[in-house]
Structure 1
Amino acid sequence: MWLYGKADQWSITDILLQLVCQERKMSLFSMETLYLLGLLNFFVVTKQLSGWTINVPTKVTATEGSCVVVPCHTQPHLRVIWYMYDSKDYPKVYDKYYPDTVEDQFRGRTSLVGEAMEGNCSLKIDDVRRDDNNVQIYVWINPISESYQAFLPQLVTIIVEKITPLIAIKEGTMSDGDIFEAYCLIYYSCPSSRPSLNWSRSPFLENSTLTAQHGKKTGLWFYNETLLGVATYKMHKSKIRCSAKSNTITANSKDIVLNVFYEPMTVTLTTDQESVAEGDSIIIECVTDCNPQPHMYSWLRRRMGQSDKINSTQGKMSFNNITRDTSFSCVAHNYAGAGESHWLDLVVQYPPKILPKSMCNLIGETLRCVCQADASPDALMYWTINGNDTLPSFVTSVSMNERHFVIGELIGPVQSLPNVSCKANNSLGSTKLLLLSATNSSKTSSPNMGLLPIMLLGIPLLLCCAMFICRGYPRNRPRLGEANIQGSHLRTSMMTQMCI
């Protein structure tokens, strides 16, 4: 606080200021001049310390991009000029009547707030800049008054702080379904121009709401927003931040990476091998989306109608001696729960095998052969007749009745019993089987099988002939005395009819 009073020695003050200005033009002050100035200054200040009061702080804190008000209170007055301290000059910060004389740094950004008749001489600085930091200013009340004048030698230092939103979350780690709570706080120095806050957050936050709070603390105003919602597992590893926007500046807070605990949501089995040969090994990996990572894996294997289970801490396993029709599944366990994958059916490859159902039939002069093979990859069928694989008069076809079972068919005319072979081939090997042999038909279906219908028709005819003979025999029986005489003739007659 500085006290000033009525000045009836205005001419002495003018003399003092003129002397200061003149002496600045000189390269060196004399001891006499300094002594005279000191006496004059003491006399003028002493004469003015009788009732004038001015209140200003020693410093004010401002935030970049905001505004700041330098409080100043005194008695009712007519005019105020604010200056920036300089050891050689008097650069103006504010002058209502001569705005063009204000320094470029402050021109258009300064104004007075309050009523002069109420003694308010407060200065407002808009759009605070970084280069305003540590600037020292002072006020001059009624600079041209003949009766009242107050010149304030106390400096006010402007401290400029960078605008930085502060962000925090209530819990560093949360679980799926927990309440999520985050805060964003911004300090500002201009109550009439509060910065706005914006959130950059995960879209998977459910049922979110915003609440606001504002006030004043440590010489600055503050604005705080609280974000509430339900955390979901999809928010894990996402980033959240807030930004504050003032008139000229937008500032971002730091990023916070969210850590959400959740059980294995998706579990899949993968392998680098599209297929595996029967008897070989395969490496399978159990991949899961969860947090934290699994501490145990349960491996399930299903083959030949039997299942077995292996518990391991490894998410990648090697399995040996793979057989056909083998499937795997995996259950991943972490501290939040467990999840199971779908069954992975392995593509097991093996060489062809010709099945026992393969055979040939001869009906009349038409030969029909069928060859069935089981193979993975699917087998290719080849036919040979009497060692010749060129079959111009035969028709061949291939079909499948189920996975990996291939059926080949051969149809064509023959004049005599041939040798017929079937060959099945894939990338893992081949096999060949003789289905019909001209020299040993017992191993296969022979042409004699064509006589079977004739034999089936002949048997009933023979039975009918026998019944006819039996019925005719009693009517031609000889008398007892003639039996020996006619026996030989009767046997001869019966044999003759049977032959007929």
Structure 2
Amino acid sequence: SVWPSILYFSILCQAWEVQDIPESVRALKGSCVVIPCTVSYPGSPKPTENLVAIWKKSPEEEIFNTQISNDRMKLVGDIGQNNCSLEIKDVQPKDGGPLHFRIVVHGLDSYSFLNKVVSVKVQGLPDDPDLIVSTDLQAGVAVVALCVVKHTCPTHPPKITWTYNTTKSKVQHLAAKDAEWKLTSSITLIPEARQHGEKLTCKVKYWGGMQVETSVVLQVTCEYCQCLKCTICWNEKEYAFYYYMPYKVHLNRWCTSNTNFENVQQRGSANRIEISLFTLILAQVSVYLCVRPVDKVRKKNSKNSQYMYKKGK
């Protein structure tokens, strides 16, 4: 029959080919890198023991051979399943440079893929992660923060941690391009007004121990916070506010009698005014200390020079 002959001829005509090898790949010194590779060869599939996978720097310089023990390098998959991907641990500058793959098929032939060369670029420091979070935070309103990092070692991906007090983080790990992988960690923030000005930090630890981090300063507004009230010590020309915040955050603000406040209402004598502040950003005020300016209007031995008021309802 002619059909077996055609089938045998088509098998023999299958090409020597490698796929998925990128033109270049970044590798972090002291960490690890995986160079993706898929190989095909003429003839029927062979068992793993009949195949030898080799990675070389040049036709003369061999860096990896499946028949030779290697503490730092190994194939990620099974060459018997056409997977020739190479993992390099504890990457060193000497690992850089152009690499190509060679396969030996016992009982058939061998082939070096000199037309598919990957350039390994060893870098001493990793890139800082990208921290993505809205700059317009409202107290009490949930928002998602993302920490994104790219790497080239999917067998030992980096670990991402947050300074924000939460145990609920979602991690997504996806292949990107040029042997890179994209690792994303997301958390849900419910910011409080007292967190205005605090830092949010995501930290990345790579396999091998190297660490980097990125921080942003939280800008929290309090549009719908509870109205704060205080009876102000009043003088015809000037008075002072002292806002005492949690964690000893101190804001000193001087005003004049011409300052425009919302909903200003006079109560009682002319030297006392009750006001409502609707736009105070740092709204977690535990106590207002209301003081007359010491250097201008405070009288000697005055017993009524300061008043303490708790947060109004």
TM range (shorter): 0.5 to 0.7
1:329–1:341 CA contact under 8 A, matched in 2: no
Are positions 1:212 and 2:171 aligned together?
A: yes
2:149–2:184 CA contact under 8 A, matched in 1: yes
Are positions 1:158 and 2:105 aligned together?
A: no
2:35–2:85 CA contact under 8 A, matched in 1: yes
Are positions 1:226 and 2:190 aligned together?
A: no
Q: Distance in 2 between matches of 1:121 and 1:308?
A: 87
Aligned to 2:16: 53
- Alignment equivalent of 1:93, drawn from 54, 63, 87: 63
Q: Distance in 2 between matches of 1:160 and 1:229?
A: 36
Q: CA deviation at 1:217?
A: 2.7
2:147–2:185 CA contact under 8 A, matched in 1: yes
2:229–2:276 CA contact under 8 A, matched in 1: no
1:177–1:230 CA contact under 8 A, matched in 2: yes
- Alignment equivalent of 1:113, drawn from 63, 68, 76: 76
Q: Distance in 2 between matches of 1:266 and 1:228?
A: 32
Q: Distance in 2 between matches of 1:51 and 1:282?
A: 95
1:197–1:243 CA contact under 8 A, matched in 2: yes
Aligned to 1:477: none
Aligned to 1:149: 110
Task: Give the direction of change, closer, same or farther, for the CA distance of 1:193–1:268 in structure 2 (3 Å limit).
Answer: farther
2:99–2:119 CA contact under 8 A, matched in 1: yes
Q: CA deviation at 1:200?
A: 1.6
Matches within 5 A, 1:70-89: 70-75=36-41, 76=46, 77-85=50-58
Task: Give the direction of change, closer, same or farther, for the CA distance of 1:342–1:69 in structure 2 (3 Å limit).
Answer: closer
1:185–1:224 CA contact under 8 A, matched in 2: yes
2:161–2:204 CA contact under 8 A, matched in 1: yes
Residue 148 of structure 2 aligns with an amino acid whose one-letter code is L
Q: CA deviation at 1:115?
A: 3.2
Q: CA deviation at 1:232?
A: 0.5
The normalised TM-score by structure 1 is 0.42
Q: CA deviation at 1:91?
A: 2.7
- Alignment equivalent of 1:288, drawn from 235, 243, 246: 243
More helix by share: 1
Aligned to 1:138: 100
Q: Distance in 2 between matches of 1:139 and 1:79?
A: 11
Q: Distance in 1 between matches of 2:86 and 2:172?
A: 28
Task: Give the direction of change, closer, same or farther, for the CA distance of 1:234–1:242 in structure 2 (3 Å limit).
Answer: same
1:138–1:152 CA contact under 8 A, matched in 2: yes
Task: Give the direction of change, closer, same or farther, for the CA distance of 1:168–1:131 in structure 2 (3 Å limit).
Answer: farther
Q: CA deviation at 1:259?
A: 0.4
Q: Distance in 2 between matches of 1:214 and 1:98?
A: 33
Matches within 5 A, 1:224-373: 224-262=184-222, 284-288=239-243, 296-297=260-261, 307-308=269-270, 331=275, 333=277, 335=279, 341=288, 344=291, 348-349=299-300
Moved more, 241-250 or 340-349: 340-349
1:234 is paired with a residue of what secondary structure? Answer: helix
- Alignment equivalent of 2:35, drawn from 48, 54, 69: 69
Aligned to 1:440: none
Q: CA deviation at 1:96?
A: 4.0
Q: CA deviation at 1:231?
A: 1.2
Deviations 1:85-111 (A, max 9, x none): 3xxx83321134455xxxxxxx63211
Residue 161 of structure 2 aligns with an amino acid whose one-letter code is N
Q: Distance in 2 between matches of 1:168 and 1:200?
A: 15
Q: CA deviation at 1:244?
A: 1.7
The normalised TM-score by structure 2 is 0.63
Task: Give the direction of change, closer, same or farther, for the CA distance of 1:343–1:153 in structure 2 (3 Å limit).
Answer: closer
Task: Give the direction of change, closer, same or farther, for the CA distance of 1:123–1:174 in structure 2 (3 Å limit).
Answer: closer
Residue 56 of structure 2 aligns with an amino acid whose one-letter code is Y
Residue 67 of structure 1 aligns with an amino acid whose one-letter code is V
Deviations 1:51-70 (A, max 9, x none): 55131425253452243133
2:25–2:35 CA contact under 8 A, matched in 1: no
1:255 is paired with a residue of what secondary structure? Answer: strand
Task: Give the direction of change, closer, same or farther, for the CA distance of 1:72–1:163 in structure 2 (3 Å limit).
Answer: farther
1:73–1:122 CA contact under 8 A, matched in 2: no
Aligned to 1:197: 160
Q: CA deviation at 1:71?
A: 0.5
Q: CA deviation at 1:297?
A: 5.0
Q: Distance in 1 between matches of 2:228 and 2:214?
A: 30
Task: Give the direction of change, closer, same or farther, for the CA distance of 1:241–1:119 in structure 2 (3 Å limit).
Answer: same
Aligned to 1:41: none
Matches within 5 A, 1:444-463: none
Q: Distance in 1 between matches of 2:98 and 2:231?
A: 68
Gaps (5+ residues) in structure 1?
A: 1-48, 100-106, 271-280, 310-327, 350-375, 378-402, 404-500
Residue 114 of structure 2 aligns with an amino acid whose one-letter code is P
Q: Distance in 1 between matches of 2:290 and 2:201?
A: 42
Q: CA deviation at 1:83?
A: 1.2
Q: CA deviation at 1:251?
A: 3.2
Task: Give the direction of change, closer, same or farther, for the CA distance of 1:227–1:185 in structure 2 (3 Å limit).
Answer: same
Q: CA deviation at 1:186?
A: 2.4
Matches within 5 A, 1:414-425: none
Gaps (5+ residues) in structure 2?
A: 1-11, 246-250, 305-313
Task: Give the direction of change, closer, same or farther, for the CA distance of 1:128–1:215 in structure 2 (3 Å limit).
Answer: same
2:156 is paired with a residue of what secondary structure? Answer: coil
2:87 is paired with a residue of what secondary structure? Answer: strand
Among all aligned residue pairs of Structure 1 and Structure 2, give the percentage whose two residues are the same amino acid.
16
